[in-house]
Amino acid sequence: MTSWTGRTAAEIAAAVREKRATPREVVAEHLARIERLDGRVGAFRTVRAEAALAEADEVGARADLAELPLAGVPVAVKDNLAVRGESKRVGSAATPDTPSTEDHVTVARLRAAGAVVVGLTNVPELCVFGTTEGVHGTARNPWDTSRTAGGSSGGSAAAVAAGLVPIALGNDGMGSLRIPAANCGLVTIKPGHGVVPARVSDGDWFGMSENGPLATTVEDARMMLGILADAEFVRPPESGMRKVAVSLRSPLAGIAITAPYKAAVRDAAEVLMKAGHQVRRADPSYPMSLSLTSLAHWTAGTSEDAQGLDPALLTRRTRVHAAVGRRFVKGVGTGKAREELRRRLEPFFEEYDILLTPALARRSPASAPWHERGWLRNILANTNYSPMTPPWNLTGWPAMAVPFGTLPSGAPTAVQLVGRPGSEAALLETAEQLEKLHPWQRTAPLD
């Protein structure tokens, strides 16, 4: 009997289209794996077992089955996006436990492409932090369950890395796709602003939040991004040598990059150089004020999201985060700081096609009840391990996390690829070269 867990979305969809497998048997096998392993991983807030099997039968009966790019592919959805018939809790006790009446546009596009939603994944409260734990569950890194999966798309990343689903949907407002992807050895891309419909929350964190894929291969990430964006991301006509800048500097002042993440960047740079790219050491001109700008936007977004929720039902760290953010909302809303940052960084991307950096500064924090700890302790833990991602939400430019190398524990490390607006296809092609020339183990050895 063929096993469909551990297969890529592309492999599963091809088998279903060619009637070598049915959507029901694919989904049932993944549901069984979820039941067996998710107690160790904590990826899911809720699993839609009966509903998913019924939807799998509906996909199998579709007249256009042979044309569906995600035919019968199980997918997990981050619990801040609406799934018809399911509540959207956003990791909080303060949100209503009432079913959504319709799908978020990205969920609707995945379902139209033949995907089957098997469950909603755990997130930190209001998707604020880079660790995933709270009243609805704790998402652990399947490669090292003593560590957090990251956040805020931690449950989605854990689900894919554990082989519970081949792909998952998440979003990124300050690194919330790239941070857990880097922890869990996955490919992700935060698309540039406006490429994929956002509608993550009111104001989308002032336009910084973007929806995107979590996958184990670049092929799956490209395919899923195309469905989410309703566009194609084929190899660009200018494929060939690119100017790649390599930077080991943290954008946020005073944070050191640890040796495994520096080594991952150096090794990835060598791979790209051998592939024919022009690779140079060069640091973007990050302003000294970037730390304050990042904090202002991070907290202001939470302040907006917390409006209308009962503060007594929010954790203390979330209440403090929102209270700090209220002081910044007016200034952040002007967009002036983000525009100034774009103007400052644009000359760098006129000289270089791609920026290669570490995806993280260090391994993720221990899996612990961070939601019960103080605000400042959370801020320091998050900032010290994940300073590399915020600039690209502030600018609204595309950025990827790509697995590359390992930590002493055997868990993955990762690099970040950043490009100018409209460079999603170029980033994906460059990531694909890294994958081809330096392949990675796609899922954690949990069995």
* Structure-derived torsion over alpha carbons of residues 394, 421, 275, 256, reported in degrees to the nearest 10: -10
Are 79 and 132 in contact by the 8 Å Cβ rule? The answer is no
- Burial class of residue 393 in the structure, from the number of CB atoms within 10 Å of its CB (0-12 exposed, 13-18 middle, 19+ buried): buried
Question: Rounded to whole angstroms, how far apart are CA atoms 404 and 402?
Answer: 6
Are 164 and 34 in contact by the 8 Å Cβ rule? The answer is yes
Whether 78 is catalytic is: yes
* Structure-derived torsion over alpha carbons of residues 399, 405, 407, 411, reported in degrees to the nearest 10: 80
Whether 176 is catalytic is: yes
Q: Please name which of 36, 398, 71 lies closest in space to residue 212, comparing C-alpha atoms.
A: 398
Q: Please name which of 212, 120, 115 lies closest in space to residue 172, comparing C-alpha atoms.
A: 212
Per annotation, catalytic residue among 92, 152, 201, 291: 152
Query: What tokens does 162 get?
Result: 């554990």
CA torsion sign for 255, 260, 261, 263 is positive
Q: Please name which of 415, 363, 411, 354 lies closest in space to residue 389, comparing C-alpha atoms.
A: 415
Per annotation, catalytic residue among 92, 153, 156, 176: 176
Per annotation, catalytic residue among 78, 153, 156, 247: 78
Task: Tell how far CA 199 is from the center of its chain.
Answer: 16
Q: Please name which of 39, 419, 385, 373 lies closest in space to residue 180, comparing C-alpha atoms.
A: 385
Contacts of 281 (CB under 8 A, 6+ apart): 245, 246, 247
Query: What tokens does 230 get?
Result: 């309703």
Q: Please name which of 179, 173, 200 lies closest in space to residue 82, comparing C-alpha atoms.
A: 200
Question: Rounded to whole angstroms, how far apart are CA atoms 325 and 382?
Answer: 17
Whether 294 is catalytic is: no
| Active site residue ranges | 78, 152, 176
